[in-house]
Chains A and B, each alone.
Chain A
Amino acid sequence: MSLLKPFSKLPGLNSANILLVESEEQFQQSLADALVEETTFTVNVRLAKSLPLPVENEESRPRIDLVVFIINLTSELSLQSAEASLKCLDPGYFLGKVCFMVTNARSAAAPVERLDVARKLAASLHCPLLFAEDQTPDGVTNATERLLTILKVAAGLVPMATALYLSNLTRSTVPPDIEQPSFN
């Protein structure tokens, strides 16, 4: 099993590379289309169903600046797949170069416990947890903007800011009462 490493390759000039991991491959395409429209710097989007990435593309693959796990809350498989994929990431990525994006959090079909699991997962890895709406164009635009903000920092395009610095401020935290059932 080959680990994906954050600093194994030289960075490209004025460009940023983002890897979208989604087991169901529903949201990543529209998100990728919106991401590459950014004009101030080159955004390379890589899509994957799960990690590890195939070995044959190893040479042509650029250095990945940000790994985004897209979790569809209505599917248990989506969460499990993300959890399994996490093991194929170098620990260096967890210093600000990973984030979780949750979709369908408002859906009635999504159990509350699954959201709690996702939050605990993000909190235990000190990663930001973003919520996105994948059905409407507005939702996709919003999600894109939020990802680009993180990506810019993670790719080192923002002077005086580093991924670690940003993630210390944006990382997900678990509310203290999540373990206890509420009585009201």
Chain B
Amino acid sequence: MAEVKLGGQAAAELSEAAQGELMEQCEEQFAQLEKLQNEMILCEPECCENPQEQAVNRLMATEAELKQWLTVEPELLISNSEVLLQAGKEEMLKLCSELEMVVSCHEAKRDKLRETKELEQKWLEEKKQALIAANDHVERLQTEKGKLSEQSILQDTKAKIQKMKVYHERLMEALGDVLEKHVPPPQNESAANRKKKNITQELHKDLISLNEILELLMNKVLNTPHDPYVTVDDTFWPPYTEMLLRYGIAVRHQGNNFKIRLETFC
């Protein structure tokens, strides 16, 4: 069948002699086909429903086919060179187009792999850098560990604590200076304001300074972080309380107006 088909296609562009020769061969092949067909129809195979028998059938058929392939000898399609040239050309063209498809497919695949490779390399580079950094860190830590003794760590920590203490001292002093300069204790204020003396006299008796208010607030925050509120009583001069609240240094309790706490500065 394949030969007949091939011949029929090629005949379109062939000379008459070649075409005639081809046709003749086609006829011959077809006649042989018909003969075989008739033979096949004549020898009716016995029907078999049994799968076992079918397997045997199959084995026999496969063996027969194998034998045929083993004995078959390659033979020339046709001796006419013109036909052979034509057929060869067609096969070549077909093969070429198929190979082109393979090439484009592989190129696409290659490009994709290349992309993947670049990505992977980038990733590898990043990982390498991370490794180098980690190694550096380890090395540094080890050299430090070698250098450091218990004594020196203690000294270091002591120096740090000292530094912190000094800094704290300075801050407190600065705060004290500022308060002394700009926010004098309420007694002075009221003393200066003599007109209202008779009205406010009683209240002023045990008023505390702003320093003390702040100290109270700070201590409360540090000592009992879970309950940082301080109750506002008579000793708090109301303008100071008002100032602390207005400038966001202190916050009022949400449920109780008489309680305030230090704003969380962090």
Contacts and interface: CB of A to CB of B under 8 A. Distances in A.
Interface of A: 3, 7-11, 13-14, 87, 90-92, 94-95, 124-126, 156-159, 162, 164-165, 168
Nearest to A158: B2
Interface in B1-43: 1-2, 4-5, 8, 33-34, 37, 40-41
Given A87-B49, A91-B45, A91-B47, A14 B5 contact: yes
Contacts of A124: 51
B143 to A, nearest CB: 55
Given A3-B47, A124-B51, A126-B55, A11 B61 contact: no
Contacts of A168: 62
A165 B58 CA distance: 11
Contacts of A162: 65
Chain A interface mostly helix, strand, loop or mixed? loop
Contact of B65 (A3, A7, A11, A164): A164
Chain B interface mostly helix, strand, loop or mixed? helix
B57 interface: yes
Closest 6 CB pairs of A and B: A159-B2, A156-B1, A7-B40, A124-B51, A95-B61, A14-B5
28 contacts: A3-B47, A7-B41, A9-B37, A10-B33, A10-B34, A10-B37, A11-B33, A13-B4, A14-B5, A14-B8, A90-B45, A91-B45, A91-B48, A91-B54, A92-B45, A94-B54, A94-B58, A95-B57, A95-B58, A125-B54, A126-B54, A126-B58, A157-B2, A158-B2, A159-B2, A162-B65, A164-B58, A164-B62
Which of B45, B48, B62 has the most chain A CB within a 10 Å cutoff?
B62
A87 to B, nearest CB: 7
A157 B58 contact: no
